[in-house]
Amino acid sequence: MDIDELLTRGVSEILPDKSGLEKIMAGKKIRVYLGVDATGPHLHLGHTIPLRKLNEFAQAGHEAILLFGTGTVLAGDPSQRAHARAKITQKEIDENIKTWKDQAGKVVDLSKVQIKQNGDWLLKLTYADILNIASNISSVQLFKREMFQRRIEAGDTVWTQETLYPLFQGYDSVAMDVDLEIGGTDQTFNMLIGRELQKKMNNREKYVLITPLISGTDGKPMSKSSGNCIWLDDSPGDMFGKIMAIADNEIESYWVNLTGLPKEDLRPMDAKKKLAFEIVKTYHGESEAKKAQEKFEQLFQKGGVSESTPEIKLSQPSVELVDFLVENNLAPSKSEAKRLIANGAIEVDGQTISEDEIEFTNNQVMRVGKKKFVRITIE
């Protein structure tokens, strides 16, 4: 993978600028890290976006570090939170990260990626150390954070340890003396504090590579605290089913950010099933992916299909959907056909269809409403 592709696919933004990072990478191998706080025992698909990017840097020969946030988690990251995180014990932290290496190993090559824990240096900071770190960032800068302002306006509390969190995460950049930090868009503020600390305390430039977030099973940003996640240790069947249930407008985001599949292969009719298969294969193997797909099809797609299911033969695969429904007595009128489409009541192989013109492949199953099924064959 060349530098331009490395800094483009699955990347929302590079700060302060992409060209500066390209110049550094053209001249040397850099030190790059990704941090994940130990707030729970499971990693989810959202985590794999920056993990995949970290692995790409490792494969390109750069020094890559996956940092478990065993120290920062004690302060509690306030990013995207309306309330402070619950306090966590050392026992819970140890339990949470027990299987993280195995889960992360499904995404990154652990022979090329170092694993570190920031508790190793944060928990050893002295009173003088903390004062020194804090002297580099103004309190006004911390309190201007948008989420804190929202809480203050709503009359809610902003706790002192939450305002200190960006300092502790930022100090990771100083302690490891990195050139680049990777993180999701929700981490931008924290990563930029790290950039400022690196400049002031180590007199060095640090870049920030921001990766996009994906939506979870409820259409909101996927996060451990919301429970709307597709977990890396979900069973193959659960993982396949959850992916098939995502909204159609999320398919492209999942495709580009969670797989290495070429974007030109993204076709609305079969993309979701191919996407689900590819992701399950990545984390459970091809055999389990096939089983999961077969089970899904038996339980959901062909739940109303049997030998006696009516068959519609087409001489060409492309049809105007409204006309197709009316001509084949699947809707009594064009207005009713449009209503069915608008209400998401038309599915082909389990995928909701909303396009005016669709292109079938042979032996697909269409569901109209709740109970009407037809099999499509191309002559």
Which pLDDT score is estimated for 66? 97
Examine the pLDDT at 36 and tell me if it is beyond 80. yes
Examine the pLDDT at 347 and tell me if it is beyond 80. yes
pLDDT band at 196 (very low <50, low <70, confident <90, very high): very high
Residue tagged 């006309």 (tokens): 323
Which pLDDT score is estimated for 373? 80
Helix runs in 209-320, H state only = 236-244, 251-258, 271-284, 286-296
**Which of these ranges, 46-50, 172-176, 237-241, has the smallest mean pLDDT?**
237-241
Which pLDDT score is estimated for 79? 61
H and E: helices and strands count for the chain? 18, 13
Q: Which residues in the chain are classed under CATH 3.40.50.620? A: 3-211
Does domain 3-211 fall into CATH 1.10.3720.10? no
Which pLDDT score is estimated for 111? 95
High-pLDDT (> 70) share of the chain, %: 93
Fold type of domain 311-378: 3.10.290
pLDDT digits (tens, 9 = 90+) for 116-144: 999 999 999 999 999 999 999 988 888 77
B/e letters for 239-260, b = 16+ CB within 10 Å, e = fewer, are bbbbbbebeeebbeebbbbbbe
Structure tokens at 210: 């921001």
Which pLDDT score is estimated for 377? 85
Q: How far apart are CA 41 and CA 379, in angstroms?
A: 52
Residue tagged 């902003």 (tokens): 158
Written as one string, the DSSP assignment of 52-88 is HHHHHHHHTT-EEEEEEETTHHHH---TT-SSPPPP-
pLDDT digits (tens, 9 = 90+) for 52-107: 999 999 999 999 999 999 999 988 766 654 455 677 888 999 888 999 999 999 99
Q: Which residues in the chain are classed under CATH 3.10.290.10? A: 311-378
pLDDT digits (tens, 9 = 90+) for 172-189: 999 999 999 999 998 999
Average pLDDT over every residue of 365-369: 84
Q: Which amino acid is at 165?
A: Y
Q: Which residue has the higher pLDDT, 269 or 177?
A: 177
Q: How far apart are CA 192 and CA 116, in angstroms?
A: 21
What's the mean per-residue pLDDT of the chain? 87
pTM listed for this prediction: 0.75
Which pLDDT score is estimated for 15? 96
Average pLDDT over every residue of 221-245: 85
Q: How far apart are CA 31 and CA 29, in angstroms?
A: 7
Query: Distance of CA 262 to CAs 95, 148, 258, 275, Å?
Result: 38, 40, 12, 11
Which pLDDT score is estimated for 162? 83
Mapped onto helix, strand or coil, the DSSP state of residue 148 is: helix
> Burial, 70: exposed, middle or buried (Cβ in 10 Å; 0-12, 13-18, 19+)?
buried
Q: What are phi and psi of 222, to 5 degrees?
A: -70, 125
Would you give the distance in Å from CA 165 to the centre of its chain?
A: 23
Examine the pLDDT at 282 and tell me if it is beyond 90. yes
pLDDT band at 299 (very low <50, low <70, confident <90, very high): low
Q: Which residues contact 268 (CB under 8 A, 6 or more apart)?
A: 248, 251, 351, 355
